[in-house]
Structure 1
């Protein structure tokens, strides 16, 4: 694989979940060493990297993390970025929300002011104001950047070139993300046509091998070897993955009242998140919780589902509720355990006496077959969850949720 980033490039790096986008970006950043080949950075060029899940362990505050690579005496850069992004540098890492941590990671990248920015899923957990600030910054910057994002609108507005990583092959297009799907379909159509031609040629040569190999044996042996080479070429082609089989079972009908909160309040130390809050959710309602990062949206969800208790007021749940929670931290997945064990050792999915089976909506199914429904191959079944990309972890969590009936779905940054 060969790629080049030029000054002024605004590149979208796209590909399916698990195709290797984040790994490729880490190689570009010099964090992961490639198995072979060279990484060359021009003299005087600095490379900055914002990872998908920043590791802030060892830092007391968000400001400490953001300033960790800033030269002494230039901390004002972090303060300027923090003001633009709207987060408080003195916020403890332990109590920061996902959005606040994401803002700190962006402030770190902006304050470092590299000539090439490698940015992996920057809008995850960000509120609307922070996304708008980020878009303005990337529009105005003179630095080159490579951007991984599932935010199509952001990619359409910001990028001028596209890297497409597909089954180990990297293609470059001198146009932004807009029009990518048409390019992809044209590429796949040409690929399918070439495959059909190869299949027809193999079929014709195989017929000849059966019917005409006896004459002129020396010349014919070369043709037989050529047929073997064609078959090897065909078998080496990697099939495109299909679409995950995603389906929720609504289960039994809940009572008319789903959740009712009366006069609830919650605070952490001197920080009051909400007070005198009333809410009534009925069967069939679809409710969106919006607000700036750190105001308590996730805390409110946890309180309404009974995971944490309010400081004041009451929360009552309706009857016959079956709750499925998609949490933003993917805490329901054990990162050290394999995909196999994450499913088979879930008490709600385990099949007694069958360690290779999982219960899927009331029916036992082989764990590998169920993983394949969500586009995981057999080789991944025994791999640890921590080896998955962010998108793959989301798919695995959905696999756990969709195996069980649910009539109340909680989605926190899906």
Structure 2
């Protein structure tokens, strides 16, 4: 594959903190690269430099070896709250549309409409300010995908997306002929999309071809080889140390070059590879938990004219781990706030609700039913929106415990850093510490994996698996759900909540099988309906003539076909079999994430032609078979 761009000698630092220094690498056409590094090591800074949004401190070089177009998806999408979805997307697409003629502009707008429909955002006259976080993320992704740029640069593309949105984007990118560089914490997404893993580690860049598991194995080999080489150097250093102590430094004594080599060996021998990671072992056990957690009886919640929870009844149990999934905007976060009595103005636009047995009627919201909470509950609520830090405070002023801070990778040289200087992942890590240090016995986590690096997520998984309390987890990270939860509350919309026993992957398999069975049943019913209609039509169009014989008719006897009709029936059976196979193949192509507009249009047109021809031939086959 030809090289797209070449990066040479770029560096970035903020004050005394060096993120990376003098790094370089190549990106080839067709590479789909996942960038992995701990929080605070400069992943976002590197992406911004490559996208032209920032510059390298040392100058360096970013050489584009082809004339390529770059589309950059940032973590946070800047938008006008008063703008409609359509106007916002088209305004942010101006760099791609400003030089288009009317015909190509119409094609671009059609592409945007198709993506909006595929992403479940067909109501694109809505204001941006009424969208959920996931819907705002979808709008940002549509701007990127509609550009059909040569090189996609994406910073946490799955953050805030619901699972349907993640799976659509995953399918699109895995089939697209594009080059991309992304930072993601979603391991299923990474394995489905990426063909290369790039690791930033201790100021160097390492490239691994293959999936995440291959990266882990090859990385471990690299570390073991490095440490084995260090051990060899230590043995050599011992011999050199004996030589240094053996005789005096005289004119006829030790050679200067050998003494210099000794000090170089000493420096290298001290470079033992160490992997720093968050330690949750000293968080302490959860507080004592009574038998009563949260009991819900016939709870409903309405906002405006919409129902977000309808007659929900459930008693949460000690030590259970339940996952909550559903599309963006169906009320998952609202449900959590109802459970803990935290429905305030920022969440619902109305007054506080959720006290046991209380019904509140406000201008926009109404809650009915009973929610009872155990007296021993100590709730730790990790919000999706994060903690509202005082940006002028230091890390130590926020959490005044140097030992715990060091366990969460905040060493002494970071304790006096202001919150405003921390990366998004570092702020999330500090927020997680403020929750866990309270030793809650009911832990509610709303999208806890957003902005955390993969290593920290793995450690958090292990902690939550052993958590001796009740866990309620809202997450769109499928791997995270599969590892942790016993069952799922599936928010289906219109207030309906279904309880599914099993992991998320088992749930998706169940849904796929159910939908396939549903489609097959619909096809059978449609075919039976057509058969009955044809039979009725033939019966109605064959009345007995008035002068006909009074001999009783035999309606069950099949009509004898002429030689020509017999040949036609045989050909129809072959044609129907061929058309059915072609229709199935076309369906697979349309569901497979076609990205070429011309090819998609061609397949769609042919699908309509095949469907129409198949209906006609099936009808004729029924006429001849009756």
TM-score range, shorter chain: 0.7 to 0.9
| Superposition deviation, residue 225 in structure 1 | 2.6
Native 8 Å contact 1:336 1:384 kept in 2: yes
1:245-256 matched pairs, under 5 angstroms: 245-246=280-281, 248-256=283-291
Partner residue, 1:19:
41
Q: Which blocks of at least 5 consecutive residues in structure 1 are unaligned?
A: 345-357, 359-366
> Could you say what secondary structure the match of 2:330 adopts?
coil
| Cα separation, 2, equivalents of 1:231 and 1:65 | 59
| Aligned residue in 2 for 1:317 | 373
The CA distance in 2 between the partners of 1:94 and 1:43, in whole Å, is: 39
Kept after mapping to 1: 8 A contact 2:30/2:178 = yes
For the Cα contact (< 8 Å) 1:249–1:406, is it kept in 2? no
Deviation at 1:105, TM superposition (A): 1.9
> Residue 62 of structure 1: CA displacement?
4.5
The residue number in structure 2 matching 1:84 is 118
Asked whether the equivalents of residues 115 and 143 of structure 1 are also in contact (C-alpha less than 8 Å), the reply is yes
Q: Is the partner of 1:410 in helix, strand or coil?
A: strand
Number of paired residues? Answer: 392
Query: Alignment partner for residue 50 of structure 1, among 63, 73, 80?
Result: 73
Q: Mapping of 1:111-122 within 5 angstroms? A: 111-122=146-157
Q: CA RMSD in A?
A: 2.6
> Given the alignment of the two structures, is residue 269 of structure 1 paired with residue 304 of structure 2, yes or no?
yes
| Conserved? CA contact 2:384–2:447, under 8 Å | yes
Shift of 1:163: 1.3
Specify the SS of the correspondent of 2:431. Answer: helix
Query: CA offsets, 1:184-204, max 9 Å, x none?
Result: 011001110121122223333
CA contact (8 A) 1:11 1:145 kept: yes
Contact in 1 for aligned 2:73/2:141 (Cα 8 Å): yes
Q: Which runs of 4+ in 1 moved over 6 A?
A: none
Gaps of 5+ in 2: 1-22, 99-104, 344-352, 355-365, 449-626
Contact 2:399 2:405 in 1 (8 A): no
The alignment status of 1:41 with 2:75, answered yes or no, reads no
Q: Within 2, Cα distance between the matches of 1:252 and 1:336?
A: 32
Q: Determine which of 13, 21, 25 is the counterpart of 1:3.
A: 25
> CA 1:250–1:237 in 2, change beyond 3 Å: closer, same or farther?
closer
Q: Equivalences for 1:184-333 in 2 at 5 Å? A: 184-216=219-251, 219-234=254-269, 239-246=274-281, 248-308=283-343, 309=353, 311-313=366-368, 314-333=370-389
Higher relative contact order (CA 8 A, sep 6+): 1
Q: What is aligned with 1:352?
A: none
Are residue 102 (structure 1) and residue 125 (structure 2) matched?
A: no
Using the alignment, how far apart are the partners of 1:248 and 1:214 within structure 2? 55
Contact residue 115 and residue 146 of structure 2 kept, 8 A: yes
TM-aligned CA deviation for residue 300 of structure 1? 1.0
Larger displacement relative to structure 2 (267-276 or 22-31): 267-276
**Which deviations, in whole Å up to 9, do the C-alpha atoms of 1:359-382 show, x marking residues without a partner?**
xxxxxxxx2x22111122222222
> For residue 160 of structure 1, what is the aligned residue in structure 2?
195
- Change in CA separation of 1:286 and 1:178 when aligned onto 2, cut-off 3 Å: closer
Is this contact kept in 2: 1:265–1:312, CA < 8 A?
yes
CA distance in 2, matches of 1:27, 1:246: 37
Secondary structure of the residue aligned to 1:5 is strand
Whether the 8 Å contact between 1:161 and 1:176 is mirrored in structure 2 is: yes
Give how far 1:101 is off: 2.2
Contact residue 196 and residue 211 of structure 2 kept, 8 A? yes
Correspondence for 2:207 among 172, 176, 182 = 172
Deviation track 1:116-146 (CA, whole Å, cap 9, x = no partner) reads 0012222223222112111110122112111
SS in 2 for 1:117: strand
Q: 1:398 matched to which residue of 2?
A: 432
Q: Deviations over 1:24-55 (max 9, x none)?
A: 21211111211120123345311111122333
Aligned to 1:364: none
Q: 1:374 aligns with which of 397, 401, 408?
A: 408
Quick one: distance in 1 between partners of 2:186 and 2:215? 14
Q: Name whichever of 60-69 and 300-309 sits farther off.
A: 60-69
8 A contact 2:395–2:417 mirrored in 1: yes
Q: Residues 325 and 165 from structure 1, CA distance in 2 versus in 1: closer, same or farther, beyond 3 angstroms? A: same
Q: Is the 8 A contact 2:230 2:271 kept in 1?
A: no
Structure 1 pair 205/91, CA: closer, same or farther in 2 (3 Å)?
farther
Counterparts of 1:268 and 1:60, CA distance in 2: 23
- Tell me, yes or no, if the aligned pair for 1:213 and 1:220 is still in contact at 8 Å: no
* Comparing 257-266 and 114-123, the one that deviates more: 257-266
Structure 1 Cα separation of the partners of residues 131 and 315 of structure 2: 28
TM-score by length of 1: 0.85
**Which has the larger share of helix?**
2
- One of 51, 72, 75 as aligned partner of 1:29: 51
TM-score (norm 2): 0.58
* Stretch moving more, 211-220 or 222-231: 211-220
Pairwise CA distance, 1:243? 4.8
What is the SS of the residue equivalent to 2:206?
Answer: strand
- Distance (whole Å) between structure 1 residues aligned to residue 232 and residue 177 of structure 2: 47
Local SS of the residue matching 1:398: helix
Change (3 A) 1:219 1:291: same
